[in-house]
Amino acid sequence: MGNRKTSWPSIAVRASLFTLIWSVLGGGATASWWVGIPAVLLAVIVSVALIPPTPLIWSEILRFVPFFFQRSLLGGTDVAWRAFHPRMPIAPDLIEYPLQLPPGLPQAFMVNTVSLLPGTLSAVLEHNVLKVHVLDRQKNVVAELKALEQIVARMFDTSLNVS
Amino acid sequence: MYDAPGRTRRQTINPSDYLSAALLIAGAVFFLAGTLGLLRFPDVYTRLHALTKADNVGLGLMVAGLAVQAESWSVVGKLLLIWWLVLIAGASVAHLIASGALQRGIRMWKP
């Protein structure tokens, strides 16, 4: 981070992403770009100010997408089954998971994704320790969190610090 | 009954309509599960599980069902954008509610 050489490609990626979003919203009307181009430029400036450009590994993001779809479908089915079941089989617990990801975007991404995985909900993040509410304490949640953490680390091109 | 010229093809039901209907109904089942969980589950934390996860899948299936019927790629793009925004809003709001509840000392339900 803060490296001038690596920040320009990621700014270009953001600009093209916002351009794509505008073209979707505008539905291809040429006149809409009179508003669209300033809006895209403003969005790039605001996004760079709020989140410093970080290198992303796109091949890893492509690998994350099917993982995320499969896990969130499983998570939805799991909780739906528990909600419909007459005896409502839940055994909640709160576990502490020390994050090895660096603070900032990688941690924020991890925290938000955990809530959509089967049976886990991000409760509190304090001093790099994530408290996770689990719906069924019988399940091996830690292995799942470890697998996710490794994928996130590869996406953001960082290493997990072994403490 | 013609709603627009050149739209006669729409009067017959094609296979994609069945796919669309199946996806929409499946999505509704997940929304029902999310609401049922909200009513049946014992505390705020377990209710958040039901809302975030079941509604995420429900909306995803609805979006997929509507995308099958979409007339242009920009409509598909809009639908995906809606899904993605609801996804990140749902996940971050669930985290904020859970963390607020824990900090206020709201105890979790245990069997």
ipTM: 0.84
CB contact under 8 A, A75 and B53: yes
What are the extents of the domains in chain A? 4-50, 58-155
Would you state the pLDDT for residue A25? 87
Would you state the pLDDT for residue A159? 83
Q: B27 versus B108: which is more confidently predicted?
A: B27
pLDDT at residue B12 greater than cutoff 90: no
CA-nearest of B55, B110, B29 to A115 is: B55
CB contact under 8 A, B52 and A25: no
CB contact under 8 A, A88 and B41: yes
pLDDT at residue B21 greater than cutoff 70: yes
From the list B36, B57, B111, the residue facing A73 with the nearest CB is B57
The helix, strand and coil proportions of chain B, stated in percent and rounded to the nearest 5, come to 80, 0, 20
Would you state the pLDDT for residue A1? 45
Write out the DSSP string of A35-98.
Answer: HHHHHHHHHHHHHHHHS------HHHHHHHHHHHHHHHHHHHHHHHHHHHSTT---B-EEEEEE
What tens digit of pLDDT does each residue of B43-69 get? 999 999 999 999 999 999 999 999 999
The contacts of residue A30 (CB under 8 Å, 6+ apart) are none
What tens digit of pLDDT does each residue of B70-100 get? 988 889 999 999 999 999 999 999 999 999 9
pLDDT at residue A45 greater than cutoff 90: yes
Would you state the pLDDT for residue B3? 54
Chain A hits for B40, Cβ within 8 Å? 83, 88
**Contact status of B111 with chain A (Cβ, < 8 Å):** yes
pLDDT at residue B18 greater than cutoff 90: yes
Would you state the pLDDT for residue A6? 61
CB contact under 8 A, B95 and A73: no
**Burial classification of residue A32, based on how many CB atoms lie within 10 Å of its CB (0-12 exposed, 13-18 middle, 19 or more buried):** middle
Considering chain A, what is the average pLDDT of its residues?
Answer: 89
